A and B are shown apart, each in its own frame.
Chain A
Amino acid sequence: NAGVTQTPKFRILKIGQSMTLQCTQDMNHNYMYWYRQDPGMGLKLIYYSVGAGITDKGEVPNGYNVSRSTTEDFPLRLELAAPSQTSVYFCASSYPGEAQPQHFGDGTRLSIL
């Protein structure tokens, strides 16, 4: 099993450009999450989804959009890239249930210049 796969691994954007970070999982997990991690810091939740067609805002949703049309895929969209969005983005997934572990991808390193 591939687990959680994120693409691309690295990207440089210009201010004002848009892009979509892709995330797919093959574990049939209902729950999926997007986090950002700034240098030397912990994880901040951007958006999450508890199933296809359902999304909710996390701690830092401004400047981002998500969709969940299938169980497997949870893309994250940046519409107007800003330097403050330079970060490492992690996608994760899990089964429902409070003690269920989250499985993370390897991250997308995004720089906005």
Chain B
Amino acid sequence: TQLLEQSPQFLSIQEGENLTVYCNSSSVFSSLQWYRQEPGEGPVLLVTVVTGGEVKKLKRLTFQFGDARKDSSLHITAAQPGDTGLYLCAGPNTPLVFGKGTRLSVIA
């Protein structure tokens, strides 16, 4: 079974700060997905990365897939309170393998 380790588990920062969260595995993934779950809602897909070394940007969010396709990172620039939530990475399988998530709190 492929396992995904996410770090940090919790992160609390001030509005305007930058942050990076990580998703790591000992296995190679053909693709990786990032989801965000806002309080009281279900997770929503942010992005899928499929190519080693790939970088995708979604406004202030930058996603990177490692060259070896065993790790991924999510960088948020100038965090805002609306970024608060649980960030989950997921690897391709049936069913998807989810990491335990990074719980981000952005304080105004």
Binding site for B on A (CB under 8 A): 4, 31, 33, 40-43, 45, 48, 50, 58, 90, 92, 96, 98-99, 101-107
The interface residues of chain A lying within 8 Å CB-to-CB of B88 are 42-43
Q: Number of B interface residues, CB 8 Å?
A: 25
B30 to A, closest residue via Cβ: A98
Q: How many A-B residue pairs have CB under 8 A?
A: 54
Interface contact A31-B94, CB-CB below 8 Å: yes
Contact A99 B42 (CB under 8 A): no
A45 CB contacts on chain B under 8 angstroms: 95
Q: Contact at A104–B44, with CB atoms within 8 Å? A: yes
Helix, strand, loop or mixed for chain A's interface? Answer: loop
Q: Give me 11 A-to-B residue pairs in the complex whose CB atoms sit less than 8 angstroms apart, sorted by A's number.
A: A31-B94, A42-B98, A42-B100, A43-B98, A98-B30, A98-B31, A99-B30, A99-B50, A102-B45, A105-B42, A106-B41
Contacts of B93 in A (CB 8 A): 98
Interface centre among B30, B40, B50, B94 (most CB of A within 10 A): B94
How far apart are B103's CB and chain A's nearest CB, in angstroms?
Answer: 7
Which residues from A are CB-within-8-Å of B35? 102
Does B95 lie within 8 Å of A101, measured CB to CB? no
Nearest B residue to A94 via CB reads: B96
Greatest chain B CB density within 10 A among A40, A43, A92, A105 is at A43
B85 adjacent to chain A (CB < 8 Å): no
Residue of A nearest to B4 (CB): A42
Q: With A41-B100, A42-B100, A42-B101 in contact, do A98 and B94 touch (Cβ < 8 Å)? A: yes
Chain B positions within 8 Å of A103 at CB level: 45
Instruction: Determine whether B43 belongs to the interface, using a CB cutoff of 8 Å to chain A.
Output: yes
Within 8 A of A (CB), among B28-87: 30-31, 33, 35, 40-45, 48, 50, 86
